[in-house]
Amino acid sequence: MKGKAVKFIVLTIFPEMFDPFWEHGMIKRAIERKKIFASTINIRDFTKDKHRVTDDRPYGGGSGMVMKAEPLAGAIRAAQKKAPLAKTVLLTPQGRCFSQNIAHEMASSDGAILVCGRYEGVDERISHHLIDDEMSIGDYVLTGGELGAMIIIDAVTRLVPGTLGSEDSAENDSFSTGLLEHAHYTRPRSFEGNDVPDVLISGNHKEIEKWRLETSLIRTFLKRRDLLEKKSLSPQEIDILKKWCLDIEKIIHDQSLRGSDTSSGTQ
């Protein structure tokens, strides 16, 4: 049960951004328990000029600056020496989109060297020669790769066995079941006039499980129909959906028996 720690080495010009990140919650615990190994390398430490410059103007002109190749190459080679089996990943808006599947892959790998770009981008010769993979975290524009690296580390770490705590079950995640989670309630039983559903107080675990699956399904249908369309449904799930279907059809049928007048019918 004692796999090797997943290594994350972050290359950045802002290593201080990661200090609070390592020091809280599940990430902190995973480091303490040696489930993950985390460190930063300051790209600026691999500059050789007096002013420790990491960016320069683009060849061909234009606005914005480009991350220089030499300091980045030095930093990447230093990281690859420390973690020779880890993949070198460049965080960039042009990369393939990070996903729960990629998180699972990374959680069972040796780890990753996460290269955080700043400015308009990194010198193309870096991506061509020293990078194994390019990753984006979604279609919106950030100021650099640092938050992307944190998101990847966060999502991967909770999948490393022994970090999630007592239950240790990432299996219940919506991306594993293909459904959004059921509603959650805790004390008090009545809050500002809203009560906890009776079934959850009943102690009937079979009914509770059934209720949770039903609410999971309906929430997924209402909020994320795309997930429901992708999912392969179990016979029980199909039964639940069929029951709703019949319930809705009955309401429509009863309406039509009342005549097809357009008045609201609530008078």
Give contact residues for ligand 21W (rule: CB under 6 A): 91-93, 117, 120-121, 136-138, 140-145, 148
For 241-252, b/e burial (b = at least 16 CB within 10 A) is: beeeeeeeeeee
Provide, rounded to whole angstroms, the least separation between the CB of residue 252 and ligand 21W: 45
- Shortest Cβ 49–ligand 21W spacing (Å): 23
Closer to ligand 21W at the Cβ: 46 or 98?
Answer: 98
In the bound state with ligand 21W, the residue whose beta carbon lies nearer, of 15 and 145, is 145
Nearer to ligand 21W, 74 or 144 (CB): 144
Name the active-site residue from 45, 49, 120, 207: 120
CB of 9 to ligand 21W, least distance (A): 17
Among 29, 93, 134, 181, which one carries the catalytic annotation? 93
Return all residues near 148 (Cβ < 8 A) that are at least 6 apart. Answer: 91, 98, 116, 135, 136, 137, 142
Task: Indicate the helix (H) or strand (E) that contains 134.
Answer: strand 133-136
Q: How far is the CB of 93 from ligand 21W (least distance, A)?
A: 4
Active site residue 16: no
In contact, 228 and 220? CB cutoff 8 Å? yes
Spacing of C-alpha 22 from chain mean position: 17
Q: What is the β-pairing status of strands 87-97 and 111-116?
A: parallel
> Any catalytic annotation for residue 93?
yes
Question: What is the C-alpha to C-alpha distance for residues 109 and 83, in angstroms, rounded to an integer?
Answer: 12
- Which residue of the set 71, 118, 123, 158 is catalytic? 158
Active site residue 158: yes
Please list the active-site residues.
93, 120, 158, 173
